[in-house]
Amino acid sequence: MLDIIKAFLYGIVEGITEWLPVSSTGHMILLEEFVKMDVSQDFWNMFLVVIQLGAILAVVLLYWNQIFPWDFSKKARQEKRVNKKDVWMLWAKILVACIPAAIVGVLFDDWLDEHLYNGYVVATMLIIFGILFIIIENKNKGKEAVIKTIEEIDFKTALIIGVFQLIAAIFPGTSRSGATIVGSLMIGVSRTAAANFTFLLAIPVMFGASLLKLVKFGLAFSGSEVAILATGMIVAFVISVIVIKFLMSYIRKHDFKVFGWYRIILGVVVLAYFFLK
């Protein structure tokens, strides 16, 4: 029961930090220092990734009309336009953006876990990308975005965003959403389009990463492990729905600098904690 309560807490943290550009991994590593679950190391490594499935299902729910590529309505069938070509094109761009991180994830997943998933790397990347957020937002102040909507993102732009996502895949603490949003802003994508594309980009990335971890862990779950994982995923789903709606409302009137300052402060706190530990 105690571990289920802890999983509830991890679900809250995952649901909040997965979508805000503040690094869910950084928060999870810090939370683990104070709230440890009585589970095996293999289960814990899998849990940290697969709990994201709950968060990604929130994106699927909120963006269903934009990502489902078929229209089975009577009118669409009569006009023979069941296939939504614009949605298929969007998925093609998303898959192109996923290629860099997918290749590195499959080839170097275990090595990255062993050598880079630690508090020092997380804290450093929190600070670096926090500074980048502030610099880019100051530089872009008053400038009009070149790409205003997600439909205007072409394949070249999608691939560039995918390269920034690769940075997050390599260096924990970067934040996947943080890296892709920073990259998008640097090449002239509007905040709204950058956030929307980041959310959609997470669908294949998180499903792929979760599938990889599940295959490595195997499906021999105990009853308590199923309860812990289900609790984390369900809570992450509910919180994610709330946070995504908040963020899309927030960025219509505000920039990302507040998240940059938050990252810097958190990074300094994490560094101080591990140095003094």
Chain segment 231-253, per-residue pLDDT in tens: 999 999 999 999 999 999 998 88
The arithmetic mean of pLDDT across residues 47-51, rounded, is 88
Rounded-to-integer distance, Cα 5 and Cα 9, Å: 7
* pLDDT at site 217: 82
Q: Say whether pLDDT at 140 is over 80.
A: yes
Statement: residue 112 has pLDDT above 90: no
Give the list of residues 6+ apart from residue 131 with CB closer than 8 angstroms, or none.
260, 264
Note whether 48 and 117 are within 8 A (CB).
no
> Which of 24, 23, 46 is CA-nearest to residue 109?
46
Alpha carbons 123 and 266: distance in angstroms, whole number: 7
For residue 109, pLDDT beyond 80: no
The model carries a pTM of 0.86
CA 27 → CA 11, 13, 219, distances in Å?
A: 12, 7, 27
Averaged pLDDT for residues 117-139 = 88
* Residue showing tokens 């990308």: 129
Is residue 26 within 8 A of residue 172, CB to CB? The reply is yes
Percent of the chain with pLDDT over 90: 40
pLDDT-based confidence at residue 222 (cuts at 50, 70, 90): confident
**Residue 175: which of 27, 13, 7 has the closest Cα?**
27
Q: Percentage of the chain surpassing pLDDT 70?
A: 99
- Please state, in angstroms and rounded to a whole number, the distance separating the CA atoms of residues 226 and 235: 14
Higher-pLDDT residue of 256, 238:
238
User: So what's the pLDDT on residue 263?
Assistant: 92
- The candidate with the shortest Cα–Cα distance to 182, out of 128, 146, 253, is 128
For residue 145, give the 3-state DSSP assignment: coil
Q: Are 255 and 191 in contact (CB under 8 A)?
A: yes
pLDDT of residue 277: 75
Residue matched to tokens 């275990």: 110
What is the pLDDT, as a whole number, of residue 63? 93
pLDDT of residue 223: 84
Mean pLDDT for 199-214 is 86
What is residue 57's predicted lDDT score, i.e. its pLDDT? 93
Instruction: Write down the mean pLDDT value for the chain.
Output: 87
Per-residue confidence band for 158, with pLDDT thresholds at 50, 70 and 90: very high
Q: Is the pLDDT of residue 16 over 90?
A: yes
